[in-house]
Amino acid sequence: MSNMNDTKSNVTQTISLVDRDLKSFLSVSSSVVFLYVNGVMIFTLRKKTVFQETSRYILFGHMLWVDTLNLIMSVVLFVCAVCRLFVMKFACLILLVAATALYQVSTLNLALMSLERYVAICIPLRHAEITTYRRTNMAIGVIWMLSWVQSLSEIIIFYSNDTNLAMNLFCSRTTLFRLQIYKNLNIAFTCIFFVTVTFVISFTYASIAVVAKTASCDKMSAKKANKTVLLHLIQLGLCAASILVGVIQEVIYIYTDYITSLNVMYFCFVVFMIFPRCLSPLIYGMRDQAFRYLFQYYFTFGLKKQNRCNTEIHLAGGG
């Protein structure tokens, strides 16, 4: 009887290991595909001067860089969680504060992109004056500074309360940031950022919708801009939902068996981490006709040459 139980236990353990390795492989491989797509898009943006000097493309390129770094950080933390790897406190601190800052930059960048579309549609005569290259980069610098406030605060609090940086532990916000002050800080910054960004995106969506109903604007462009802002709102909702991922992981890690926790972590990672990062190419890259042609050219290693010719025509015509 004991031998039968040992055999069942070994089989169950083998199945769980295979399941873990399969899910890890699928998650990492799908992330690599999206990293490749983002890489081609970033490369495409570097090939035309208009892409490097126009506000909407600068913000798009910034979003791609942030989403790429965010996805890499998410994959690293996901693999550590799935494989139950213990990480040195110092390395875990760097990973978590960087992930937090990148996450907040990504969220604030959605507000910037929505504001750019608002200016383009609602104040078209001043669009070139307001969204200059210098002002766009200054705005990006501001959101980076704002996004690092929480992370720097956490680093200062951590170093003032914890001296054993060489200790290994399961890397997550719950295990590293145990004091109540961390939770209060995280809740405060999360509420401030999401309320602000939600207000900005909702305001721009409503304003563009009102302008789209008038006869004094390009209704086609206004409707397209409104759909873009609406997609930003959906993306923001997915980003908000991803806040719960860390909490869910800690709960299932403590109260459920390994197979269940693995399945839940895999679902959360795909839906709340990978999928929102995939919306970025959909929102701007594939919906922008001029950029799409050039992207397809580089994505297919130059096989679609006709599309590149079409791109030259669209860019020359200001499209």
**pLDDT of 136 over the 70 cut:** yes
Encode pLDDT of 207-234 as tens digits: 888 887 775 556 677 677 777 777 777 7
Mean pLDDT calculated for residue range 41-68: 88
Mean pLDDT calculated for residue range 306-317: 47
Q: What is the gyration radius of the CA atoms in the chain, in angstroms?
A: 23
Q: CATH topology for 19-287?
A: Rhopdopsin 7-helix transmembrane proteins (1.20.1070)
Residue 216: how many CB atoms within 10 A of its CB? 7
Side-chain-facing half-sphere of 297: CA atoms under 13 Å: 18
**pLDDT of 248 over the 70 cut:** no
**What does DSSP assign to residue 271?**
I
pLDDT, the chain, mean: 77
Q: Which residues of 155-165 are buried (b: 16+ CB within 10 A; e: fewer)?
A: eeebeeeeeee
What are the residue boundaries of the structural domains of the chain, listed by start?
Answer: 19-287
Report how far apart the first and last C-alpha atoms of the chain are (Å, whole number): 75
Q: How confident is the model at residue 189 (pLDDT cuts 50, 70, 90)?
A: confident
Distinct helix (H) and strand (E) counts, the chain: 14, 2
Indicate if the alpha-carbon torsion angle 151, 155, 161, 167 is positive or negative: positive
Residue among 318, 311, 295, 308 nearest 42 (CA): 295
